[in-house]
Amino acid sequence: MSAGPLGDYQPGTSVFHRLPVGAKLLGLLVISVVAVAFRGVATTAGLLVLAVLCCAIARVRLGRALRALRGVLVAMTLLAAYQTWQRGAEHAFVVVGALIALLLLATVFTTTTSVERMVDAITRWLGPWRRFGVNPELVALAFSLMIRGIPLTLAIAGETRDAARARGLERNPRAYLTPLVIRVVAHARATGDALHARGLGD
């Protein structure tokens, strides 16, 4: 199992913690475009140095950086091996190195951005869309409902799985997924009714 559902955020006071959410996202986008446009050994080496530097400045713990890489490390190793075999070690370094650098930079983003700031930023960004019928408050509501819904859904998944196991059906995904999804729908409708009764969303 992975990290808790409330994210990688790690409070701190580094430059990256104080930068606006939008600036960080834009920076990542620019770096990612640069990585593709100027593909080469020098670019990849530069990106890797930059990524490690940013991790150090943001005080991303080593364990956290490794955990971010763990999930994709197998895929990266396979890709590196394939590229080395097909096109040589240099090419493998250029392609895989750049991907690892971008992954580390994204980890800097997630460890320095709290869920609250992300939700605030989304509400702010959606402001201009109000005239096209977008309701930023409803969107922010969807976000908070979803974030609170993850631990709840995990708990229901555990319960329905136990129930299926008790009936000897643990190898049958349908036996625990069907009650799980039906409970998710029932809960969502109860939540919707409760919110509606409070006059929200009209």
Which residues contact other proteins (rule: CB under 8 A)? Answer: 1-3, 5-9, 25, 28-29, 32, 35-36, 68, 71-72, 75, 79, 83, 87, 91, 95, 99, 102-103, 105-107, 109-110, 113, 115, 118, 122, 138, 141-143, 145-147, 149-150, 152-154, 157, 173-174, 177-178, 180-182, 184-185, 187-189, 191-193, 195-196, 200-202
Tell the smallest beta-carbon distance from residue 17 to other proteins (Å): 14
* Nearest residue (CB) to other proteins, 45 versus 181: 181
Amino acid letter, residue 136: P
Collapse the DSSP code of 192 into the 3-class scheme (helix H, G, I; strand E, B; otherwise coil) and give the result. helix
* Nearest residue (CB) to other proteins, 59 versus 117: 117
DSSP of 110-172, one letter per residue?
HHH--HHHHHHHHHHHHGGGGGGT--HHHHHHHHHHHHHHHHHHHHHHHHHHHHHHHTT-TT-
Tell the smallest beta-carbon distance from residue 53 to other proteins (Å): 17
Give CA 182 to chain center in angstroms.
26
Long-range Cβ contact pairs of 181-184 (< 8 A, separation 24 or more): 183/156, 184/153, 184/156
Tell the smallest beta-carbon distance from residue 124 to other proteins (Å): 14
Amino acid letter, residue 194: A
* Nearest residue (CB) to other proteins, 167 versus 196: 196
Tell the smallest beta-carbon distance from residue 12 to other proteins (Å): 15
Tell the smallest beta-carbon distance from residue 122 to other proteins (Å): 7
* Nearest residue (CB) to other proteins, 3 versus 49: 3
Helices (H) and strands (E) in the chain, counts: 8, 0
Tell the smallest beta-carbon distance from residue 68 to other proteins (Å): 7
* Nearest residue (CB) to other proteins, 45 versus 106: 106
Q: Which of 137, 127, 130 is nearest to 195 (CA)?
A: 137
End-to-end Cα distance, the chain: 40
* Nearest residue (CB) to other proteins, 49 versus 116: 116
